[in-house]
A = this chain, B = another copy of it.
Amino acid sequence: MIKKELLIFELFIIKRTDLFREAPSGSRRIIQIPKFKPQANLNVSKKQEITIRLAGYSQDGIQSMGSLLAKLAGRSGYRVMTYMTIPATVAGGNSIYQLRIGNRSILTPGDEADVLVALYQDSLEAHISLLKAGGVLLCDSKHCQPEGKVPDGTHVYALPITDLLESALGGHAMKGKNMFLLGMLSRLLGLDDAKVEDLALERFRKKDESVIQNVRTALMAGLEYEWSGRRPDIHLDEAKHSCEAVTMDGNSAVAYGLISAGVRYGASYPITPATSIMEVLIEELPKYNGVFLQTEDELAAAAAAIGMSYGGNLAVTSTSGPGMSLKMECLGWATMAEMPLIVVDVQRGGPSTGIPTQVEQSDLLQSVYGSHGDAPRVVLAARDVEECFSICKDAAAIAKQYSTPVVILSDQGLSTRIEAFDKPDWNTCIVEPKLDQEARPADFVPYPADALTHHAPPGCRIESGRYPVMTGLEHDTTSGPNPGPANHMTMTAKRRKKFQMLEEATPMPEMLGDDQGDLLLISWGSSFGATREAVMRMEAEGRKASHMHLRTLYPLKREIRNVLERFKRVYTVELNDAGIYGAGQLATLIRSVTGCDRVRSIAKTDGQTFKVREILKAVANA
């Protein structure tokens, strides 16, 4: 498939000497120019998908433009996935935004771009290598000298973006480039003019009239830009999805996922890249009569969330790596007292403060083993933005059914990534929270040795008159502290057994491809997309490979061993260090559970999500 696309591009390759001639000279009020009908005078194939990379400085509004374009794509019935970098300092710096838009499902934001939009010479030079051969470079001729910097075959369009805007808006038009580009790209992609206008106006709704006027002017200038020669050939094929999609980032998906799962309470402490989960919940929960607390630190956040859960309202605490480390003692208490709880960890580059604005999947083993003592807890991971939403319901159900803390792992990549996906089915996805205040009969036992624990939150009368005291001490079935040898064995077994039940209830993980063969790639969390795409690519090229994706990391389904045994080569694909034993964190876990020694890892720690080609290359070299 890929190859075919490359061929299509090659048809349009122009000679190096033809470059740069497409920039219009001079400038004028473009706003009056009659609408240009792109479909009319073009004889180009429509693309199934297009990847666009925007590169500039953070003050150019690259990110807001990118997110608007993504939303536009979603509204237009396309699928979309984005990728962005956050500058490490508050004060700004280089900023990029990449979008992959298509009419079939999109698994990654794309290894390489079909279109590179570069606003400055340094953006151009830094990103040109990510442009596909024969791709389109759009750059601001005021700041960019593409000559000698782009490979042969690139379609270069050096446009006087700054100048055009200055003439359209008057004066030094620092802002507005993003709207100009939004309009231009929207038209080129074949998206609907009205929709893009609506979208921009919605976004700036609350601004002054003068700002809105400028937005509209810049947008129009982009939309109605008159191409003097051949225009860039990046028209999308017809959309195939319903326009009932939402276009959402991973952190918002978690926040709304929690709300739809019935979570109304929680507590967190700000930390990149998890903060916006708490920000959304602080803003939203009052509507649902809920409360979300900003606490003084992560220990307090975990303690407060456990207090809320103890009160009978399943609660959440969200954080990233350093905060996870601080929550380990509280999480151990929740395991011991068997308290339902949801913990969201948006993983970032580690260890320690690490690289707060980059992605990594390196908190898995801590999530599983991070507290002292035998303190098991459930660990799930979301594979994409849509699953950031849907996994919350499962997490909440498990937390309540098994009376256990459940960790949801997301990561920095997912947190800022935007994806379009269909709106959920409200009739099935909304869980109404219910506070249990029913009296407990006289034979109520807080910790039955042979049944799942279901707490009686305060407010419940206990007919026996013996009220339970929830504790981190080893306790017996009555909840009373009991350090006795037999009791500790019994209660350890009780806490273990529910994980056994859960393991049994966990379905076999999703597989793509044969369940035996030469090569099995295993992904978890956000390494799903690139792994799936890599396997699809191999398949398309006639190479045999299978893909297993693990969503429940702990307890890990031990029967996967049978599948593993049927493959000659087994690799986990994960964003962490394969360490001295050649096993990334998932591989470490799989080996310890299954004892399958052939599991190795395709692992890296460069702070970037996997590119499909990196996986292909690793597989080829292995």
On whether the beta carbons of B597 and A492 are closer than 8 Å, the reply is no
Pick from A535-543, A545-553, A587-595 the stretch touching chain B: A587-595
Q: Is A336 an interface residue (CB 8 A)?
A: yes
CB distance from A183 to the nearest CB of B (A): 33
Cα distance A366–B368 in the bound complex, in angstroms? 9
On whether the beta carbons of B604 and A599 are closer than 8 Å, the reply is no
List residues of A (247-294) whose CB comes within 8 Å of B's CBs.
Answer: none
Chain B residues near A347 (CB-CB < 8 A): 372
Chain B residues near A588 (CB-CB < 8 A): 592
On whether the beta carbons of A371 and B355 are closer than 8 Å, the reply is no
Cα distance A555–B588 in the bound complex, in angstroms? 14
Q: Is A104 an interface residue (CB 8 A)?
A: no
Known: A88-B483, A597-B595. A352 touches B373 (CB 8 A): yes
Q: Is A321 an interface residue (CB 8 A)?
A: yes
On whether the beta carbons of A329 and B336 are closer than 8 Å, the reply is no
When each residue 363-379 of chain A gets 1 if its CB lies under 8 Å from chain B and 0 otherwise, what string results?
10110111111111000
On whether the beta carbons of A370 and B366 are closer than 8 Å, the reply is yes
11 cross-chain CB contacts under 8 A: A325-B328, A325-B372, A332-B352, A350-B372, A350-B375, A351-B374, A354-B473, A355-B488, A485-B608, A489-B604, A499-B580
Q: Is A579 an interface residue (CB 8 A)?
A: yes
On whether the beta carbons of B362 and A336 are closer than 8 Å, the reply is no
Q: Is A437 an interface residue (CB 8 A)?
A: no
CB distance from A501 to the nearest CB of B (A): 9
Chain B residues near A474 (CB-CB < 8 A): 349, 354-355
Contact of A321 among B337, B373, B471 (CB under 8 A): B373
Q: Is A353 an interface residue (CB 8 A)?
A: yes
Chain B residues near A472 (CB-CB < 8 A): 351-354
Cα distance A583–B483 in the bound complex, in angstroms? 24
Chain B residues near A321 (CB-CB < 8 A): 372-373
Cα distance A11–B157 in the bound complex, in angstroms? 106
Q: With a 10 A CB-CB cut-off, give which of A373, A503, A581, A585 has the most chain B CB atoms.
A: A373
Chain B residues near A326 (CB-CB < 8 A): 326, 328-329
Q: Is A558 an interface residue (CB 8 A)?
A: yes
Contact of A488 among B349, B471, B581 (CB under 8 A): B349
Q: Is A357 an interface residue (CB 8 A)?
A: yes
Known: A332-B325, A604-B489. A372 touches B363 (CB 8 A): yes
When each residue 105-132 of chain A gets 1 if its CB lies under 8 Å from chain B and 0 otherwise, what string results?
0000000000000000000000000000
When each residue 329-345 of chain A gets 1 if its CB lies under 8 Å from chain B and 0 otherwise, what string results?
10011011100000001
On whether the beta carbons of B374 and A579 are closer than 8 Å, the reply is yes
Chain B residues near A324 (CB-CB < 8 A): 372
Q: With a 10 A CB-CB cut-off, give which of A332, A488, A594 has the most chain B CB atoms.
A: A488
On whether the beta carbons of A351 and B370 are closer than 8 Å, the reply is no
On whether the beta carbons of A351 and B325 are closer than 8 Å, the reply is no
Cα distance A589–B366 in the bound complex, in angstroms? 14
Chain B residues near A581 (CB-CB < 8 A): 558, 592-593
On whether the beta carbons of A580 and B503 are closer than 8 Å, the reply is yes
Chain B residues near A401 (CB-CB < 8 A): none
Cα distance A488–B354 in the bound complex, in angstroms? 9
Nearest B residue to A474, CB-CB: B355
Nearest B residue to A372, CB-CB: B321
Known: A362-B372, A580-B496, A595-B591. A353 touches B325 (CB 8 A): no
Nearest B residue to A501, CB-CB: B580
On whether the beta carbons of B332 and A483 are closer than 8 Å, the reply is no
Chain B residues near A595 (CB-CB < 8 A): 591, 595-599
